[in-house]
Structure 1
């Protein structure tokens, strides 16, 4: 269904299954980039 973690996390955020603090952790773990965080949330990392 998802080609990569970015698409999966974007979908989860849109469905409200993931929140910004969780996405910040994914950035710190290197799963998504700070730029991808910004695309998903609309806020700077």
Structure 2
């Protein structure tokens, strides 16, 4: 996955799933340029 729009002001720009806990990189439009964080369950976070 390269990019997915999640709301009008947040865009998911990358997912690194090489580890047990995927790292999601999120761009907040009009705010801090990039925020990276670890999600316990990427499927739940992405709503799949």
* TM-score between the two structures when normalised by the length of structure 1: 0.27
Larger Rg: 1 or 2?
2
